[in-house]
Amino acid sequence: MAPDLMASDRSGPASVRVRVPANCANLGPGFDAFGLALTLYDELTVTAGGSGVTVDVVGEGAGEVPLDESHLVVQSIRAGLESLGASVPGFTLRCENRIPHGRGLGSSSAAIVGGIAAAYGLTGTPLDRDRVVALAGEIEGHPDNVAAATLGGFTIAWIEAGTGRAIRLEPVAGLSGVVYVPQTKVLTKEARGLLPDVVPHSEAAANAGRAALLVAAVTARPDLLLTATEDLLHQEYRATAMPESLALMHKLRGSDWPAVIGGAGPTVLVLGGPGETSAGIPAVPTGSLPAAPDGWARYELEVDPVGVQVWSGEVAGESSPSAE
């Protein structure tokens, strides 16, 4: 049985603060493999003490998510503690959420990774990001989103011997993104349910080529992003769940913007940069993108470079961008 770690006798701090970034998975052809961490953050404060849990949520999800042991962050803290062979009988959790829920920006992966990271902080254990990816991927059911939330930057995730694994690659300098976020939600389970069991071999082969090209585009050749983000594997099959998003994506791509559906949608992500990278290779300048459609939010975001972070006690994080 895992030992109980009370505030008076544990090696870790009595309070930890966690910041975890939003992320977009797939990026077009990299279905269930690619992820990109973005500078929009959820912040958690966990204070050990007493018995049971008290949960307070402000921002996204307030009034909608449960405030008890069934809260996803609480479940993830418990799972993280169990994996570390420890137990904290009671704690208070405060969630300051900025990542929209059910929009394809990795809100569930942020909750899972944030909870596991908090468990590391509460026990005073140095963060093992590979173990976080593995455990978070087990909870989430796939490792692409949790990899980006954990490692930051551009990630490639896979499952090996039943365990989620990931590597982080450095995006080309200046890579950024603009996300268009509708008010409507799309559940990942619903979106996955629209995918066929079989796709034509020619489309699968073309998609593999685009995914390989996208690695080069994100890390060195942003001028190839429009071609590299072409997808034949999942986006069009999900059109009935998000027709407005697909229409916006096609409109942007028709104007040579590298637009994709963010994760399972319905957010639309456009990848680009300041106009030219440090290597002198031109990129799509995101500053000239059109305004959001009526009722949508628009965020101009950079690539988060580090992924989840943990501090002892409360610290002031960087201000997060607000929606236009």
Token code pair at residue 295: 């009722």
CB crowding 52-75: b at 16 or more within 10 Å, else e: ebebebeebbeeebebeeebbbbe
Q: Annotated binding residue at 100?
A: yes
Does 202 belong to an annotated binding site?
no
Residue 250 is assigned to a ligand binding site: no
Known binding residue 101? Answer is yes
271 is in an annotated binding site: no
Q: Where are the alpha helices (DSSP H) in the chain?
A: 72-83, 107-123, 129-140, 144-151, 188-193, 201-219, 225-228, 243-254
85 is in an annotated binding site: no
For residue 124, say whether it is annotated as part of any ligand binding site.
no
Omega of the bond leading into 266 within 30 degrees of 0 (cis): yes
Q: Cβ distance 234 to 31 under 8 Å?
A: yes
Task: Show Cβ contacts of residue 213 under 8 Å, excluding neighbours closer than 6 positions.
Answer: 224, 227, 228
- Residues pairing with 18 in the sheet: 44, 310
Angle, CA of 205, 202 and 23, to the nearest 5°: 45
- Flag whether 104 is marked binding: yes
Q: Which two tokens mark 184? A: 């409507």
Check the annotation: does 127 bind a ligand: no
Pick out the residues of the known binding site.
100-110
Residues making up the annotated binding site for ATP are: 100-110
